[in-house]
Amino acid sequence: MNIAYYPGCSAHGSSLDYELSTQACCKALGITLNEISGWNCCGSTPAHATSHELSAALCGRNLDLAAKQGADLVVTPCPSCLSNLKAAKERLDDVDFRHKVNALLDAPLSQTLPESTSVMQAMAESVPLDVLAGKVTKSLAGLKLVAYYGCLMSRPRERMKFEDPENPMLMERMLEACGAEMLDFPLKTACCGAAFGIPNRKLTQQNSGRILNLAHDLQADAIVVACPLCQMNLDLRQGQAERGLNKVLNLPILYYTQFIGLALGLEPKDLGLKKLIVSPNNLLAKWAQAKN
C-alpha cells in the first residue's frame, strides 16, 4: 500500500518531537511514509471557521497532491488536520460545493481523492498488537500511564470512525502491548482548552488543569497524548495549570510514539524527548529502575 504522509504545520514547529518519533516508530515498524511533496497547511480552525470552501480548498489541494503521487491512503499524526482532511473529502462529494472549491484553486481537484486516517490507526492496522509486542525490546513495565486522546480524535463519531467516541481504547491496547500499565482515565476525551490558550487563557488553564489534576490524583507517571495542541497545553502550559490548581504536578506529557519508540529500543534523542518542557528524567529513571 502506498501511504502518503501529511505531517501538518506543527510537525515542523511546536511538535517536532512528535514528528521525529512518528518517523522513527514507522521506520522501526516497517511502515513507509511518503511525505506529500509540496503540501500546505490544512487551514486549521481559522480556515473552517471562516469558510468551509476555503478549508476544503486547502485540504483538497493536499489530497489532490497525494492522489497524483499514487497514494491509496493519506495518514497524518495530527487529529485536527485529520478532521479537516476528512471533512473536506466528505463535503467535496457535493457537486456544487466542489465547483465553489475548484474556483478557489489554480487547477481543479482530481475526481477521486484518497481516504485519510490517523498514523495511530494505520499503525495498528499494519502492525497487529501481538506483532508489536514481539518487537518490544525494552518493555514499559513498571510505568503507570494514562492515555489522553483529546476531544477531536474520536469525534464526531461518523466522521472520525475512531472506536467509541467517549471511551476509545486503541492507545491503551498499543501501550499495554509495549508493557505499560494503563490506568482507566475517564477524562481521556475531554477538551484541553485547545486554541483558547491565547484568547481565553483561564479556560485552557481550567480545562487542562482538570485533566492534569485527575492524572495526578490517579498517580499516573505520565500522560500519553496523540495531538500536538493537547501536548502543548498540558506540557508547555502546565505551569499555568499548576498555579490555577495551587499544586505541583510535574507530570511529563509524552506522545504515544515516544513511548512506543522507547519500547522498541530507540534512543531518547531520536524521539525528541529533549523537546519536552516538563522533564521526563524522573520518569525515565523510574523506568530504568523498574527494568533492573
In this complex, which beta carbon is closest to other proteins, that of residue 215 or of residue 253? 215
Phi, psi of 39 (to 5 degrees): -65, 160
| Contact code string over 96-135 relative to other proteins, x by CB under 8 A | ----------------------------------------
Q: Which stretch binds other proteins (CB under 8 A): 7-15, 174-182, 211-219, 224-232?
A: 211-219
One residue of 214, 227, 260, 283 binding other proteins per CB under 8 A:
214
How many residues of this chain interact with other proteins, rule: CB under 8 A?
A: 11
Q: Taken in order 120, 126, 131, 137, is the CA torsion positive or negative? A: negative
- From CA 204, how far away is CA 233, in angstroms rounded? 7
Shortest separation between residue 216's beta carbon and other proteins, angstroms: 8
Measured from the CB atom, the residue of 94 and 166 that comes closer to other proteins is 166
Q: Label each residue of the chain as H, E or C.
A: CCEEECCCHHHHCCCHHHHHHHHHHHHHCCCCCEECCCCCCCCHHHHHHHCHHHHHHHHHHHHHHHHHCCCCEEEECCHHHHHHHHHHHHHCCCHHHHHHHHHHCCCCCCCCCCEEEEHHHHHHHHCCHHHHHHHCCCCCCCCEEEEECCCCCCCCHHHHCCCCCCCCCHHHHHHHHCCCEECCCCCCCCCCCHHHHCCCHHHHHHHHHHHHHHHHHCCCCEEEECCHHHHHHHHCCHHHHHHHHCCCCCCCEEEHHHHHHHHCCCCHHHHCHHHCCCCCHHHHHHHHHHHC
- Please, which residue, 130 or 217, has the CB nearer to other proteins? 217
Residue 189 CB, nearest approach to other proteins (Å): 8
Minimum distance, C-beta of residue 201 to other proteins, in the bound complex (Å): 17
CA distance 18 to 76: 11
- Write out the binding residues for other proteins, residues 133-192 only, by CB under 8 A: 164, 166-167, 184, 186-187, 190
| Chain residues 219-248 in contact with other proteins, contact rule CB under 8 A | 219
Residue 218 touching other proteins (CB under 8 A): yes
Of 201 and 275, CB closest to other proteins: 201
**Cβ nearer to other proteins, comparing 106 with 217:** 217
Nearer to other proteins, 165 or 268 (CB): 165
Q: Considering beta carbons, is residue 104 or 218 the nearer one to other proteins?
A: 218
Nearer to other proteins, 90 or 166 (CB): 166
Q: How far is the CB of 218 from other proteins (least distance, A)?
A: 4
Q: Strands 3-5 and 34-35, how do they pair?
A: parallel
CB of 187 to other proteins, least distance (A): 6
Interface with other proteins (CB under 8 A), residue from 107, 130, 217, 269: 217
Find the shortest distance in angstroms from Cβ 155 to other proteins.
12
How many beta carbons lie within 10 A of that of residue 270, not counting itself? Answer: 14
Contacts to other proteins by CB under 8 A: 164, 166-167, 184, 186-187, 190, 214, 217-219
